[in-house]
Amino acid sequence: MKTSKSPSAPFELAPLPWKDDALAPLVSANTIRFHYGKHHKGYVDNLNRLVAGNALSELSLEQLVRETANVQAQSAIYNNAAQAWNHDFYWQSLNPGRDMQPSGALKLRIADDFGSYDAFKEQFTAAAMGQFGSGWAWLVVDAGKLKITRTANADTPMAAGKSCLLAIDVWEHAYYLDYQNRRADHVAAVIENLLHWDFAAKQFASAQSDERAL
């Protein structure tokens, strides 16, 4: 956790958790270089410009997203802050090791809340495919249960207090260089091969301890 912020750039572009070719060929290094180096960086740079000299720059990124959600006058700050947070989260949701599967407590809860791992994958795919235009598909904990949800544009379940476990970016910039318009092929590649179940398990454990603390 940072304790002091740079006045000109209070929000930082966190490094990727793996090398830019780590997900290739399913997600190419070229896609990652544009997606992280141009799109994600663009959101962080815009955000820093928008909050320069503003008390909002003192907040953590998560606090800033929650503070500006649904505030019309701050929609530009919200959109860039939420996209900065969503992308940080998304990179961690992806795992260069292939074919990781849910395990332990999370595996049991997937069976309880979705019926089976296959049913979970079907619902996650349907959410990613059913998002019209730009947005995100999510695995979240909502009122103690695992749920699949989707959000449009920059919106994020985190703003509404839900605990996120995994995200899939379905903006075209996430897949167009590799798959052109074939979102289904990209989504299948991510869900079958790239989901970071150890990260999801860590998020799940922390969501449960947050709930016990309530």
Q: According to CB under 5 A, which one of 168, 169, 186, 200 is a site residue for Mn ion?
A: 169
Residue 195 in contact with residue 139, Cβ under 8 Å? no
Q: According to CB under 5 A, which one of 36, 114, 171, 199 is a site residue for Mn ion?
A: 171
- Give the nearer residue to Mn ion in terms of CB position, either 94 or 146: 94
CA distances for 89 relative to 19, 32, 108, 117, 118, angstroms: 16, 15, 24, 22, 24
- Give the nearer residue to Mn ion in terms of CB position, either 38 or 145: 38
- Give the nearer residue to Mn ion in terms of CB position, either 36 or 114: 36
- The beta strands (E) that lie in 43-198 are given as 135-142, 145-152, 163-169
- Give the nearer residue to Mn ion in terms of CB position, either 66 or 186: 186
- Quick one: which of 46, 37, 47, 31 has its CA closest to 14? 37
Stretch of 17-25, 56-64, 124-132, 170-178 lying at the interface with Mn ion (CB under 5 A): 170-178
Task: Note whether 88 binds Mn ion by CB under 5 A.
Answer: no
In the complex, residue closest to Mn ion by CB: 169
Give the whole-angstrom CA distance, residue 110 versus residue 102. 8
